[in-house]
Amino acid sequence: MIPPSTSSHRLPRILVCGPNPSWQKTLTFDEFRPREVNRALERDCRASGKGVNFARAVRTWGTAVPLVYQFSGGANGQYLESWLRRESIEFASREIADETRCCTTVLCRKHACMTELIEPSPSVTAEDVDSLTKRILSDFPDADALALCGTLPGGPLEEFYATLAKEAVRAEKPVLIDSVEHFDETLAAGVQFLKINSGELLTVTGASDPESAALGLLNRFPLLCAAITDGPDKAFIAWQGKIYRISIPPLSGVRNPLGAGDVCSGVMLSELLAGASPVEAFTAGLAAACASCLTQYAAEFDRTEALRIKNEMRIEAAPRTT
């Protein structure tokens, strides 16, 4: 657990490294038919990407303050930054030559399903990486935690996450990662909290059983916990050598699941900074993620609805295996 902040005059501050943001276009169709001409009923455009969505969740939860770091370029980058100002989400961008990607979410009302179209990521230079790294490190003295979120753009970023994690540990700042980029190197740097989905876990570990894989990570790396989601199915967290399974109640009226995992991560770290145990914090994150699936746009949710869902969740400590 993270001791709650003793500051009486400010909320905890989370530095959110989301290097690969997107300008997100959401198109809603009554029925989306592949291989046919489809005319959208609604269109919405806004800032997105794992770091942005993480920060949006932190801001909505209201117990911590996020600051997003990102690479941003071209017209899409300008749209992205303008939207973040509109949402009053603080950010620091390194302007790059390439265009920020535009990603398109296709929502089909009839089948209650989502299709995601993701553009190629931009590329960054060594100078871009060095500039953003220095900016993040310069803000460590006033920070309470670091979050590493999502994929990396193209360029010399092999050590980017690991470098930030090492420096955060040196500065005694807890680190949460929601990414599988350069996975082993970054976890070995001292990350305390991991939150990824079951498919990602099995891919990076080569395991067939996710619970055993998560416990194995705790043995291999200096992790305090590994929180694993699996869409609407039962989630679990490995902590103190045990597995805790969390049952997610059925959701009625799901509209857009995009960004739900990012919401989970943002709320989880917010709760950890408030002094919650990893199991309690992950449960709150899952509840907020569920609530976000009931809204039209990525990573938006109602906190009251999240708390209602949280009360319906059940936590089960799995028996130890030998």
- DSSP of 127-165, one letter per residue? HHHHHHHHHHHHTGGG-SEEEEES---BSS-TTHHHHHH
Tally of structural domains, the chain: 1
pLDDT at 7: 53
157: CATH: 3.40.1190.20
Mean pLDDT lowest among 108-112, 204-208, 222-226, 309-313: 108-112
Residue 113 domain-assigned (yes or no): no
pLDDT at 321: 53
Residue 75 domain-assigned (yes or no): yes
- Give me 190's structure tokens: 């001292």
Residue 109 domain-assigned (yes or no): no
pLDDT in tens, 134-192: 999 999 999 999 999 999 999 999 999 999 999 999 999 999 999 999 999 999 999 99
DSSP 97: S
Q: How many CA atoms within 13 Å lie on the side-chain side of 155? A: 21
| Residue 322 pLDDT greater than 50, yes or no | no
Residue 89 domain-assigned (yes or no): yes
Residue 134 domain-assigned (yes or no): yes
Percent of the chain with pLDDT over 90: 89
- What average pLDDT does the chain have? 95
| Residue 2 pLDDT greater than 80, yes or no | no
| Residue 209 pLDDT greater than 50, yes or no | yes
pLDDT at 77: 98
Q: How many CA atoms within 13 Å lie on the side-chain side of 312? A: 14
| Domain span including residue 186 | 13-20+50-100+122-317
pLDDT at 4: 61
Q: What is the pTM of this model?
A: 0.94
Residue 29 domain-assigned (yes or no): no
Residue 299 domain-assigned (yes or no): yes
User: Which residues, 6 or more positions from 180, have their beta carbon under 8 angstroms from its beta carbon?
Assistant: 196, 200, 203, 204
Residue 2 domain-assigned (yes or no): no
Which amino acid is present at 297?
Answer: Y
pLDDT at 6: 52
CB 58 within 8 A of CB 269: yes
Q: Which residue has the higher pLDDT, 255 or 24?
A: 24
From the centroid of its chain, how far is CA 30? 29
